[in-house]
């Protein structure tokens, strides 16, 4: 596995993983929601273009009050937050959100003094980017923050429960309605990959690499077979799956909490 520049995204270049003759956009199909908050439409449009090219869904707010509303209603996975905003300024938005949520925040501002940066970080921002900025650098910081937060949330997480399904990562055990379910090592790895990030849409290629390793040269449809077998073992009705959901045109995801039975 090596890094290369991906030729499949046109004029906009993004770091990709080169897997044989296949390119995988890094973090590309994450399907995560990112809220962009800035009162300058051109800045918003530029950030939005880069994020959506990288596979993220975007929400937009042009003032602090709307940013608070959208965060509470839509629960984004990360916020790119400008410091200078109408209605409620970025520092106050950050201060308010930190009393309500642990959502990752990247501060974006024209101010570059050390005091400004320290104030933003002290209020709970996860990173800080100064205008003018490189969209590719911002994109890299978004990926890094999401990756770090994901790793922190996974640390020490020994067990996950979703409805009647319980997955114990330490004991390598799965139960459904209290009854043990036997999974092959590959099936367990597939389930672990999906259930650790509920709501995230994984491509078949991503799952193939996660479950079988980057050196595996089999067909992507191998994942379909493993998903089918896994559904037979854990779903109340495999014909109408509620845990492992198909994302048409993409791959699969594990149901978010509100969708699980």
Q: Is residue 260 part of a domain?
A: no
Q: Is the pLDDT of residue 13 over 50?
A: no
Do 126 and 212 belong to one domain? Answer: no
Do 137 and 230 belong to one domain? Answer: no
How high is the pLDDT of residue 234? 95
Q: Is the pLDDT of residue 185 over 70?
A: yes
Question: Of 88, 87, 133, 86, which is closest to residue 106 (Cα–Cα)?
Answer: 133
In this prediction, residue 30 has a pLDDT band, given cuts at 50, 70 and 90, of very low
In this prediction, residue 200 has a pLDDT band, given cuts at 50, 70 and 90, of confident
**Parent domain of 43:** 2-153
Do 32 and 84 belong to one domain? Answer: yes
- Give 231-258 pLDDT, tens digit per residue: 999 999 999 999 999 999 889 999 986 5
Average pLDDT for residues 32-56, to the nearest whole number?
91
Average pLDDT for residues 35-51, to the nearest whole number?
93
Q: Is the pLDDT of residue 53 over 60?
A: yes
Identify the helix (H) or strand (E) that includes residue 231: helix 222-234
Backbone angles phi, psi at 64, to 5 degrees: -65, -35
Query: Would you say the C-alpha torsion 233, 239, 244, 248 has a positive or negative sign?
Result: positive
Which of 112, 133, 153 is the last residue before a domain boundary? 153
Average predicted confidence (pLDDT) for the chain: 79
Q: Is residue 97 part of a domain?
A: yes
Which CATH number goes with the domain that contains 210?
A: 1.10.10.10
Q: Which residues of 82-113 are buried (b: 16+ CB within 10 A; e: fewer)?
A: bbbbeebebbebbebbeeeeebbbbbbbebee
Position of tokens 């992507």? 220
**pTM of structure:** 0.52
The number of distinct structural domains making up the chain is 2
Q: Please report the beta strands in 83-232, taking only residues with DSSP state E, as ranges in sequence order.
A: 105-109, 127-130, 159-162, 165-168, 173-176, 179-181, 202-203
In this prediction, residue 152 has a pLDDT band, given cuts at 50, 70 and 90, of low
How high is the pLDDT of residue 111? 64
In this prediction, residue 15 has a pLDDT band, given cuts at 50, 70 and 90, of very low
How high is the pLDDT of residue 231? 95
């Amino acid at each position: 596995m090596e890094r290369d520049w991906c030729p499949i995204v046109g004029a906009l270049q993004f770091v990709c993983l080169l897997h044989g003759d296949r390119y995988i956009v890094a973090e590309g199909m994450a399907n995560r929601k990112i809220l962009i908050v800035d009162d300058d439409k051109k800045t918003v449009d530029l950030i939005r273009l880069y994020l959506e090219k990288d596979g993220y869904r975007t929400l937009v707010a042009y003032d602090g009050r709307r940013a608070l509303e959208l965060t509470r209603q839509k629960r984004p996975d990360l916020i790119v937050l400008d410091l200078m905003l109408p209605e409620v300024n970025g520092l106050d938005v950050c201060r308010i959100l930190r009393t309500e949520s642990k959502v990752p925040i990247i501060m974006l501002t024209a101010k570059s003094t050390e005091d400004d940066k320290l104030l933003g970080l002290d209020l709970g921002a996860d990173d800080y980017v100064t205008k003018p900025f490189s969209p590719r650098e911002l994109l890299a910081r978004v990926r890094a923050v999401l990756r770090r937060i994901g790793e922190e949330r996974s640390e020490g997480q020994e067990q996950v429960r979703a409805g009647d399904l319980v997955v114990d990562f330490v004991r390598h055990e799965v139960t459904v309605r209290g009854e043990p379910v036997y999974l092959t090592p590959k099936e367990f790895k597939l389930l672990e990959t999906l259930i650790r990030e509920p709501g995230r849409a994984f491509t078949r290629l991503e799952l193939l690499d996660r479950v079988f390793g980057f050196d595996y040269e089999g067909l992507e449809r191998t994942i379909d077979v493993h998903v089918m077998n896994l559904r037979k073992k854990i779903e109340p009705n495999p014909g109408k799956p509620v845990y492992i959901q198909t994302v048409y045109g993409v791959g699969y995801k594990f149901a978010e909490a509100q969708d699980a039975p």
